[in-house]
Amino acid sequence: MKKNKRTSMRRAIEENVKDHDLVYLGGFIQQDPYAAAHEIIRQQKKHLTISKTASLPMVDQLIGAGCVDKLISTFTWNLMPTTAHCFVRALTQQIPHPLELEEYSILTLSLAYYAGALDLPYIASKTVMGSGFDGETSGNKARNRLKFEISPFTGERVCLIPPIKHDVGVIQVQRADVHGNAQAWGMMGESRYGMLSCNKIIVCAEKIVDTEVIMKDPSRTIIQDFRVNAVVEEPWGSHPSPLTGVHDLDWPYLAFYESQTRTHEGFKAYLQKWILGVSSRKEYMELITSKRQRELLPEENLTAPTSHGLHSMHFEV
């Protein structure tokens, strides 16, 4: 009988995220697990290495709260577009403490996750040859673990991308069952392989559904139950980032966050009200007016139904 892995956010973070862990945060623009990140901050996890392809205000908050020693990413900013102030302060002023940065292009980091998921020694690519990430031919001082070698098959110079394997990963999805079968749709980026490169996985779902619902639409499953350690039902867990078909991106909130965090003192005030001053996602959403919540709900736009048939064996054929 399969295990029921449903638990609270507090317990999921407490049991699966440890100080000094290499933590993968899933989602690419959408599906960012803000609720989980806020719980990491509330539990005062320290000396983390955060790995994320698209680092937005969620990562900025973890840095400003002092949880992060190292960031592995491709960019860090606010989608407005504007500066991610905590990130910049950590790099330039060591506030709240120094931040080490390991930087890649979007494709090379995605391939590093792919190599980690498949337990490969490396992946060879030509994607960054002649770019700013090719340290042998440019003055770019970006720190990463890319290597450049000559292909034994073609004689071409190629980039070798190392695997990245994470201690724990967390993502917000549209739905999951209590066993951990997680389904998502919309813009996925590298999330599937990023999550599968993790030793432990926390699935945060907008809604917990019966396994029968999962089985009727199997192609949407991005993580299978046997890989998952904890399942949390957390409505609005991605706010202010969007979740396709559930709620839109909260642009005014991003503008508000930017204005509030231009100084370290301003960020501390934001932190106290919006993260430390609430004990749960439900309390956090009480700070967002019901009118604003209704405005973020998207119009219904259903896809055409698809038949997956019934799996059966036809012995007479």
Question: Domain coordinates of the chain in residue numbers?
Answer: 9-103+164-295
Would you say 30 and 265 are in contact if contact means Cβ atoms under 8 Å apart?
no
Q: What is the predicted pLDDT for the residue at 137? A: 47
Closest-CA residue to 176 (of 213, 216, 137): 213
Residue 196: exposure state from Cβ atoms within 10 A (0-12, 13-18, ≥19):
buried
Render the burial of 292-308: b for 16+ CB within 10 Å, e for the rest.
Answer: eeeebeeeeeeeeeeee
Q: What is the predicted pLDDT for the residue at 74? A: 95
pLDDT digits (tens, 9 = 90+) for 69-94: 999 999 999 998 999 999 999 999 99
The residue ranges of the chain whose pLDDT is under 50 are 137-138
CATH superfamily of 9-103+164-295: Glutaconate Coenzyme A-transferase (3.40.1080.10)
Between CA 142 and CA 309 the distance in angstroms is 50
pLDDT digits (tens, 9 = 90+) for 23-61: 999 999 999 999 999 999 999 999 999 999 999 999 999
H or E element, residue 196? helix 191-196
Q: What is the predicted pLDDT for the residue at 302? A: 84
Residue by residue, DSSP assigns 69-108 as EEEEESEE-BTTTB--HHHHHHHHH-SSS--EEEE--HHH
Beta bridge partners of residue 78, listed in sequence order: 82
Between CA 82 and CA 65 the distance in angstroms is 20
Q: What is the predicted pLDDT for the residue at 309? A: 76
Q: What is the predicted pLDDT for the residue at 198? A: 98
Spatial CB neighbours of 39, under 8 Å, sequence gap ≥ 6: 9, 10, 12, 13
